[in-house]
Structure 1
Amino acid sequence: MRLDKYMKISRIIKRRTVAKEACDKGRVFVNGKVAKAGTEVEVGDQLEIHFGDKPLKVEITQLQEHVKKDEAKEMFRLID
C-alpha cells in the first residue's frame, strides 16, 4: 500500500494531500529513511512523522483498503 494512502486510511493524517505534502517536505521516515508518498509500506514497518516539536513514531500492524473510523487505531501501534 502507498504510504500516503496508508496515513489517510489509518487516520494518522486526515487528508491524503496533506500526507503527500509531508512526504514531499522530507518529514516522513519509513524504517529510518526519508520516504516519498509512493513508498510501499508493509506490516512491521516503522513510521516516523515530524510535525511540530515532537515526532510521532508508529509501527504498522495492519493494512486494509477500507476501515471504519473506530477500527483505524488498530492499524498501528505507538512507539515511545
Structure 2
Amino acid sequence: MRLDKYLKVSRIIKRRTLAKDFAESERVLLNGRVAKPSSEVKIGDIITLRMGEKTVVYEVLDIKENIKAADAGNLYRIIE
C-alpha cells in the first residue's frame, strides 16, 4: 500500500493530501530513509513522523484497505 494512503487509513494523519504534503516535505522516514508519498509500506516497516519538535515512531503491524475508525489503532504500534 502507498505510504500516503496507509497514513490516512490508519488514521495517523487525518487526510491523504496532508499525508502527501508531509512526505513531500521530507518529514516522513520509512525504515530510516526519507520516503515519497508513493513509497510501498509493508508489515514490519518503521515509519517516523517529524512534527515540529516532536518525532513519533510507528511500527506497521497490519495493512488493510478499509477499516473502521475504532479499529485503526490495531494497524500500528507506537515505538517512541
* Global fold match (TM > 0.5): yes
For the residues of structure 2 that align with 1:11 and 1:51, how far apart are their CA atoms? 15
Percentage identity across paired residues of the two chains: 45
Amino acid of the structure 2 residue aligned with 1:59 = E
| Alignment gaps of 5+ in structure 2 | none
**Residue 22 of structure 1: how far off its partner (Å):** 0.4
Q: TM-score, normalised by structure 1?
A: 0.98
For the residues of structure 2 that align with 1:53 and 1:75, how far apart are their CA atoms? 25
**Residue 53 of structure 1: how far off its partner (Å):** 1.3
| Alignment gaps of 5+ in structure 1 | none
Amino acid of the structure 1 residue aligned with 2:39 = T
Amino acid of the structure 1 residue aligned with 2:6 = Y
**Residue 59 of structure 1: how far off its partner (Å):** 0.1
How many residues align structurally?
Answer: 80
State the match for 1:22 in structure 2: 22
For the residues of structure 2 that align with 1:52 and 1:8, how far apart are their CA atoms? 20
Q: TM-score, normalised by structure 2?
A: 0.98
Amino acid of the structure 1 residue aligned with 2:12 = I
For the residues of structure 2 that align with 1:9 and 1:31, how far apart are their CA atoms? 19
